[in-house]
A = this chain, B = another copy of it.
Amino acid sequence: MIEVPRTQFLLSEEDVPTHWYNILADLEFPVPQEHKARLDTVSGTEEARLMAQIPLSMYRQSISLERFIEIPEPVRDEYRRWRPTPLYRAYRLEQLLDTPARIYYKYEGSSPAGSHKLNTALAQVYYYQKAGIRHLTTGTGAGQWGSALAMACQSFGLRCTVYMVRLSYAQKPYRRILMTLSDAEVISSPSERTRIGREMLCQHPDTDSSLAIANAEAIEHARTTEKCRFSIGSGENHVLLHQTVIGEEALHQMELTGDFPDVVISCMGAGSNFAGLAFPFYREKTRHGDMRLIAVEPEACPKMTRGRYTWDYNDFSGITPMTKMYTLGHTFISPGIHAGGLRYHGAAPIVSAMYHHGLIEAVAYPQRAVFEAGIAFAQSEKFVPAPESAHAIRCAIDEALRAREEGRSMVILFNVSGHGLMDLAAYESYLSGQMGDCVVADEQIAQSLARIPAEGE
């Protein structure tokens, strides 16, 4: 008889969290932010508010010091389509690694959009709709954010235009079609549709492009279109807030396991998936004095491990207000790794500040080590992870192997932020030996850092 521990930790739809967790209430230092365009709107007219980037409701969330912020019922109702997501004991991965560690993972791949991105997309679209906006634009890397926003826009009846990074547009046609199925307009970026796109095509016709460029195009589109706004899928305080449903559920589910994590691991693009899982555990850190929170980034875009903590723009062309963050420079263009969602040059202000104050750790991996881990996970746990999520898996495996070497028990929790069913061409590239490690050179980072405007410092 095989003895198998319980492997599924499921909640019911009644257990969808009623509140998001706002970590700003619990940080003992201020998070530097500069949102000039937005600050104006707080005291402004209704018209001024509507012209601003985000609705007042979301702006208030982004500066609130309330610990818990209620989730509007129409958003919770949408969450109940697929949330709470499962938490699994990675029992077969433990066996494969022959580790004394107990490994758990939260699985956001069961979302209809295939990733965690729908958590904030639905909230944002709800608030934009309430504010009278009829049309949203955005940029998307791997297409996970774009498909989530497209679905959310359809749920609340808004138009949606997505600028998709050229490399992903070519590599991931299925995600493009998924957006089209939600009636979104999908445009390969850089495009002829915007001034910044045309300039880019002229100066760098063969660029792989980047999320910063796609976002710049989407911002320009929104600025020149009526009742239209630019929506962003990561980085901003309110985005991190919306993702905390992941960690709130995971806290509840870890209670069912009887374990509490020694280490909490997520991949790191701009930081919303990391924040979503890690922040609620940070709040409960007194339950475990030595708990570690690890953000995992690609060596192709090592903003935390090799970037600088400074003021910088969020987009390629410098349209956006500057924020203080770990950055490789807003003109940095990451090598074309398959984890398109991690190719963003900067880290969220809150995550950056926490890293700066030593509250979290960061680690970077080359691409092939990441795919090796993704395949080990797929072959043992059977769910194919997104290349982004495979970064967290690589780190979790290394922690588990260290536990084996040191002969000690430990509890590992990581987030599988999305499934990799639309990234199978990337896995084939790895299996056929075509894939490179995509480690970025010091000189490229130095050059890009040098282009950060001095007035931001």
Q: A residues within 8 Å of B by Cβ? A: 1-2, 4, 6-8, 10, 12-13, 73-74, 77, 80-82, 110, 112-114, 151, 154-155, 173-174, 177-178, 180-183, 375, 378-379, 381-384, 421-422, 424-425, 427-428, 431
Q: Are A8 and B177 in contact (CB under 8 A)?
A: no
Closest to A110 in B: B110
CB distance from A153 to the nearest CB of B (A): 12
CB distance from A188 to the nearest CB of B (A): 15
Which residues of chain B are near A422, meaning CB under 8 Å? Answer: 174, 421
CB distance from A102 to the nearest CB of B (A): 17
Q: Are B428 and A177 in contact (CB under 8 A)?
A: yes
CB distance from A10 to the nearest CB of B (A): 6
Q: A8-B80, A112-B383, A178-B384 are in contact. Are A425 and B173 (CB under 8 A)?
A: yes
Taking each of A2, A177, A182, A183, which has the highest tally of chain B beta carbons within 10 Å of its own beta carbon?
A177
Q: List 23 A-B contacts (CB under 8 A).
A: A2-B73, A2-B74, A7-B81, A8-B80, A10-B12, A10-B13, A81-B381, A81-B382, A82-B382, A112-B381, A112-B383, A114-B421, A155-B382, A173-B425, A174-B174, A174-B421, A174-B424, A177-B424, A177-B427, A178-B421, A181-B378, A181-B379, A421-B421
CB distance from A81 to the nearest CB of B (A): 6
Closest to A375 in B: B181
Q: Are B178 and A431 in contact (CB under 8 A)?
A: no
CB distance from A162 to the nearest CB of B (A): 15
CB distance from A84 to the nearest CB of B (A): 9
Which residues of chain B are near A73, meaning CB under 8 Å? Answer: 1-2
Q: Which of B2, B8, B180, B379 contacts A431 (CB 8 A)?
A: B180
Which residues of chain B are near A81, meaning CB under 8 Å? Answer: 7, 381-382
5 other contacts beyond A8-B12, A174-B421, A181-B379, with CB at 8 A cut-off?
A114-B421, A174-B425, A178-B424, A181-B427, A182-B379
Closest to A77 in B: B4
Which residues of chain B are near A383, meaning CB under 8 Å? Answer: 112
CB distance from A261 to the nearest CB of B (A): 21
Instruction: Pick the 7 closest A-B CB pairs, nearest first.
Output: A112-B382, A177-B424, A174-B424, A8-B13, A177-B428, A421-B421, A4-B77
CB distance from A311 to the nearest CB of B (A): 39
Q: Which of B13, B82, B114 contacts A6 (CB 8 A)?
A: B13
Which residues of chain B are near A2, meaning CB under 8 Å? Answer: 73-74, 77
Which residues of chain B are near A80, meaning CB under 8 Å? Answer: 4, 7-8
Closest to A155 in B: B382
Q: Are B154 and A379 in contact (CB under 8 A)?
A: yes
Which residues of chain B are near A177, meaning CB under 8 Å? Answer: 424-425, 427-428
CA distance A4 to B425 in the complex (A): 40
Closest to A16 in B: B8
Which residues of chain B are near A114, meaning CB under 8 Å? Answer: 421
CA distance A242 to B120 in the complex (A): 40
Which residues of chain B are near A110, meaning CB under 8 Å? Answer: 110
CA distance A345 to B8 in the complex (A): 39
Q: Are B382 and A151 in contact (CB under 8 A)?
A: yes
Which residues of chain B are near A425, meaning CB under 8 Å? Answer: 173-174, 177
CB distance from A447 to the nearest CB of B (A): 37
CA distance A13 to B382 in the complex (A): 17
CB distance from A99 to the nearest CB of B (A): 19
CB distance from A374 to the nearest CB of B (A): 9
CB distance from A103 to the nearest CB of B (A): 15
CA distance A1 to B73 in the complex (A): 8
Q: Are B1 and A7 in contact (CB under 8 A)?
A: no
Which residues of chain B are near A112, meaning CB under 8 Å? Answer: 381-384
Taking each of A4, A183, A422, which has the highest tally of chain B beta carbons within 10 Å of its own beta carbon?
A4
Which residues of chain B are near A10, meaning CB under 8 Å? Answer: 10, 12-13
